[in-house]
Amino acid sequence: MTAESWASAAILWADDDHLRTRRFAEELAAHGIRVFEARTAADAIALMQKPPAPILLAVIDVVIPAGATTLVRSSGDLRTGLMLAHWIRVNHPGVRLVGYSLEDSADVREWFATYGVPFFSKRITHYGIVEKIRRLTETVEGRLAPRIFIVHGHDEAAKYELKNFLQNSLKIGEPVVLQERSSGGRTVIEKFEQEAAVADVVFILFTPDETVKSHRDEATRMRARPNVLFEAGYFYGRLHRTSGKVIFLVKGDVELPSDVSGIVYIDISLGIQKAGEEIRRELAEWLK
């Protein structure tokens, strides 16, 4: 798809809940995003085969009628949406997929996670799914733009150096730094949850912000701020290591929690620019 055609791209929304879909379509239209609705798998396939405009992304409900198609068959438990998603992956690999359903059992989540496809329960906040879809259709210089979230502690220099590198050197869009976002009447945890819900890539800045002393051996160690540890755990739980990326950036002699000490990380002790190639490799799929 050329850079010129991105402006006219649209999304496919396959869901037999017409009222819910219509509401989302109206809100996304306010952001300049066209939504083509499909109430059955057959409708979705027809739109994919002859789209009125280039389709950038497809939102798939798990439980959806098959309709008059032989290209996907309805499974015994009516999870036709999974077969529709598989058909799109095989026949239209350039289209991004998002799972969105009330059917959010462990095996359904595992199916989407296996293919690296984000999945959201219909219990997610209305704001959360609209913002996620909107962000997934954003582009930077003709490329899909990931929604990047920066988790940080007291090291302001590292935070701003990372933000500048991502935004100005890699030109991959403006990362989210929570304290820079307006609250809009939200509590801190509401603000965090809603901004976190739409993240594709999360950078965790593990910087030596606090000195702690062990009761066991009396040793003194440097650790990241407690909020950094909390948010790192939150994102690993939400992204499941497959529907997004969590990237650890470690500065200096800072102690890592034992649960994550085996995870590969990027050393930024000499600065973000020095670690630039490693960061670039982690974001390769968005820099094509």
- Angstrom distances, CA of residue 14 to CA of 28, 63, 100, 104, 243: 15, 10, 9, 16, 20
CATH code assigned to 3-137: 3.40.50.2300
Q: Whole-model pTM?
A: 0.61
Q: Which CATH number fits domain 145-286: 3.40.47.10, 3.50.50.60, 3.40.50.300, 3.40.50.450?
A: 3.40.50.450
3-137 and 145-286: same fold?
yes
Taking the domains of the chain in order of start, what are their residue ranges?
3-137, 145-286
Check residue 256 and report its DSSP letter. P
**CA–centroid distance for 178 within its chain:** 16
Please return the burial class of 94, using the count of CB atoms within 10 Å of its CB with bins 0-12, 13-18 and 19+: exposed
Judging by beta carbons within 10 Å of its beta carbon (0-12, 13-18, 19+), is residue 16 exposed, middle or buried? middle
Please report, in tens digits, the pLDDT of each residue of the chain (288 residues total). 444 344 456 889 999 988 888 888 888 888 788 899 999 999 999 999 998 888 888 999 998 888 877 666 655 546 888 989 999 989 998 888 888 888 878 888 888 877 767 788 877 666 667 777 777 776 655 556 678 999 999 999 999 999 999 999 998 888 989 988 877 777 888 888 777 776 788 999 999 998 887 776 677 888 889 999 899 888 887 775 554 588 999 999 888 777 666 677 899 999 999 999 999 988 887 776
Are 8 and 51 spatial neighbours (Cβ–Cβ below 8 Å)? Answer: no
Separation between Cα atoms, residue 10 and residue 36, nearest integer Å: 7
